[in-house]
């Protein structure tokens, strides 16, 4: 089995190292100091489950790799429409694309029986730009539960979780999903093949759609948001609205809001990926995590007033953090501290 990880950052390098440890042929695609460190010393994973080092091939040139059986996308979802030149050398007719993204995937309505089957979600597939690069027929859905960070170039700190839920958009338990699941398990990970992966998407999204924007707006950790009386109430409202939207597109996640809250609070003083991106001056992964959910509310006629308000505020924050804000004296000032 030949696997390329396109975007071998915190999650990509972690899953690549695990797959390599399990015996798969793995190629990591990265750049900069992180790439140089992985080339020199491999990927060093630090984890309470046991530290290990893996030495898969690492490069910044996909043409060195050629066609593979699976491409695992470790990129942010907003990078998908522009990743064509990087992914094209990796594709054969049979190549599957596994998107380890947060939020609503571009393939969401592909093979989803019902009134919305085949509909495009513009927030994640603007004018079909993502589907043109990543045809939905290639997609294997993946919900990523582990939390990891790049502690230093080539060094991945595994914080919690080992589950990578997999599933076909059409719900079948396919040979390609089963084979990938077995490779992930061989590497020490959990990889159930779910006949209804969209329910898993919404379970994770219940947290992402709430804590990512709220943390960016308040600069607070997940525990701080949960323990503050008023924001805890806001979290409940947002989760209720999210579950209502999920139900309108046919998903009924089997988890209570209280259980989801306890899980988030248990993570502790963890900064969400959106807050980390904001502090680093990077674009916010807003479209897949929040904008797409608002779009599904529009499609299905859900009101979702709290979600819409939080989205409006975070969208403005994203624009200001990218373009710079305007100070009262008329001067332009960066919205993100250096």
Domains of the chain: 2-195 (3.40.50.720), 198-326 (1.10.1040.10)
The series of mean pLDDT values per 10 residues for the chain, 338 residues long, is 97 98 98 98 97 98 98 94 97 96 96 96 97 97 94 96 96 97 98 96 96 97 95 97 97 92 86 92 95 98 98 96 50 29
Distance CA 285, CA 118 (A): 24
Catalytic residue among 76, 204, 271, 282: 204
127: left (phi over 0), alpha (psi -120 to 50) or beta: left
3-class DSSP state of 198: helix
**DSSP one-letter code for 163:** B
* Proportion of the chain in helix, strand, coil states, percent, rounded to 5: 50, 15, 35
Which residue from 86, 48, 50 is spatially nearest to 68, judged by alpha carbons?
A: 86
Q: pTM score, two decimals? A: 0.91
204 is catalytic: yes
Distance CA 101, CA 144 (A): 7
Q: Which helix (H) or strand (E) is 40 found in, with range?
A: helix 32-41
For residue 263, the model assigns a pLDDT of 87
For residue 324, the model assigns a pLDDT of 58
Interacting residues of 131 by C-beta distance below 8 A, sequence separation 6+? 106, 107, 120, 125
Quick check: 270 and 98 in contact, CB under 8 A? no
For residue 266, the model assigns a pLDDT of 84
Residue 79 corresponds to which tokens in the numbers above? 């990078």
Paired residues of 133 in beta bridges: none
For residue 330, the model assigns a pLDDT of 34
Residue 69 corresponds to which tokens in the numbers above? 């059986």
For residue 178, the model assigns a pLDDT of 98
Interacting residues of 21 by C-beta distance below 8 A, sequence separation 6+? 52, 54, 187, 188
């Amino acid at each position: 089995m030949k696997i390329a990880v396109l975007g071998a950052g915190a999650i990509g390098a972690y899953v690549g190292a695990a797959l390599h440890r399990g015996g798969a042929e793995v190629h990591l695609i990265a750049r900069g100091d992180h790439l140089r460190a992985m080339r020199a010393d491999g990927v060093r994973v630090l984890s309470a489950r046991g530290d290990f080092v893996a030495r898969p091939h690492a490069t910044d040139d996909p043409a060195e790799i050629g066609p593979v059986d699976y491409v695992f996308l470790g990129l942010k979802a907003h990078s998908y429409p522009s990743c064509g030149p990087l992914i094209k050398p990796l594709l054969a007719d049979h190549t599957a694309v596994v998107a380890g993204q947060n939020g609503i995937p571009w393939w969401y309505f592909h093979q989803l029986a019902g009134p919305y089957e085949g509909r495009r979600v513009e927030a994640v597939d603007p004018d079909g730009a993502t589907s043109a690069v990543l045809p939905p027929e290639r997609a294997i859905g993946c919900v990523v539960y582990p939390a990891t960070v790049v502690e230093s170039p080539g060094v991945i700190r595994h914080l919690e979780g080992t589950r990578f839920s997999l599933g076909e958009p059409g719900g079948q338990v396919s040979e390609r999903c089963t084979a990938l699941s077995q490779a992930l398990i061989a590497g020490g990970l959990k990889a159930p093949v779910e006949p209804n992966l969209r329910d898993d998407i919404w379970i994770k999204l219940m947290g992402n759609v709430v804590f990512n924007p709220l943390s960016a707006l308040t600069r607070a950790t997940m525990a701080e948001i949960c323990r503050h009386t008023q924001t805890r109430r806001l979290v409940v409202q947002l989760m209720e609205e999210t579950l209502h939207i999920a139900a309108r597109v046919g998903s009924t996640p089997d988890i209570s809001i209280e259980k989801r809250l306890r899980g988030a609070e248990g993570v502790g003083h963890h900064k969400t990926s959106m807050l980390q991106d904001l502090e680093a001056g990077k674009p916010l992964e807003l479209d897949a995590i929040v904008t797409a959910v608002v779009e599904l509310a529009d499609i299905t006629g859900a009101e979702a007033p709290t979600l819409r308000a939080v989205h409006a505020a975070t969208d403005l924050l994203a624009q200001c953090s990218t373009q710079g804000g305007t100070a009262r004296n008329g001067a332009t000032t960066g919205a993100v501290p250096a």
